[in-house]
Amino acid sequence: MSARVTIGVLALQGDTREHLAALDAAGAEAVTVRRRSDLDAVDALVIPGGESTTMSHLLREFELLDPLRARLAAGMPAYGSCAGMILLASEILDAGAEGRAAVPLGGIDMTVRRNAFGRQVDSFEGDIEFEGLDAPVHAVFIRAPWVERVGPGVQVLARAAGHIVAVRQGAVLATAFHPEITGDRRVHELFVDTVISAR
């Protein structure tokens, strides 16, 4: 790797530790992001899995919502898994109860449906083809979303059960599944390479 990049993992709620380990294994300087000064100091951001409505509430509480939207609009690379995919969308279906709804950050021109594959008991895993990777990815879906619409600038990277589950728009990547918990670092390596290219 020719340049070491600093990639933050949003550490308000969700599976932060697993993403930090995956990014470190992929060659990045991985740090937690909890406040505005943390966000300002990173080259890119990972938004982990978790609960999208809780994460939205905490983004407001920690005064990170508008700064994060501004960084994304300015071209900051980002990667979101599961709840992170939901938040990176431009539109969220079944966003949750008013006042506690998941808030779209507008990082990718797409419409995402929360909990589309069902409840926790409907979680599943399997091998799926992933555009740009030489072998299938073992994908773990936990109360996962899917993508119902993509804009013209969005590349579809993977599908499961006929639904879009991985996308990319410029330097922003999102998956409905959790590569951080499988030990397969290729999605994180792809993201780190994207961040290096965007510098």
Query: Which residues, in sequence order, are bridge partners of residue 33?
Result: 10
Q: Where are the alpha helices (DSSP H) in the chain?
A: 16-25, 36-40, 52-61, 65-73, 83-88, 186-198
Catalytic position from the list 18, 19, 82, 188: 82
Catalytic position from the list 18, 57, 180, 189: 180
**Tokens for 39?**
């966000």
Q: How many residues does the chain have?
A: 199
Catalytic position from the list 18, 19, 57, 178: 178
Query: Known binder of ligand: residue 108?
Result: no
Please indicate whether residue 163 is annotated as part of the active site: no
Query: Known binder of ligand: residue 34?
Result: no
Please indicate whether residue 180 is annotated as part of the active site: yes
**Tokens for 35?**
């406040």
Query: Known binder of ligand: residue 52?
Result: yes
At 137, the amino acid letter reads V
173 close to 142: Cβ distance less than 8 angstroms: no
Query: Known binder of ligand: residue 90?
Result: no
Query: Known binder of ligand: residue 143?
Result: yes
**Tokens for 78?**
């980002």
**Which H helix or E strand runs over 46?**
strand 44-47
Query: How far is 128 from 16, CA to CA, in rounded Å?
Result: 24
Mind telling me the catalytic residues?
A: 82, 178, 180
Binding residues: 50-52, 114, 142-143
Binding residues for L-glutamine: 50-52, 114, 142-143
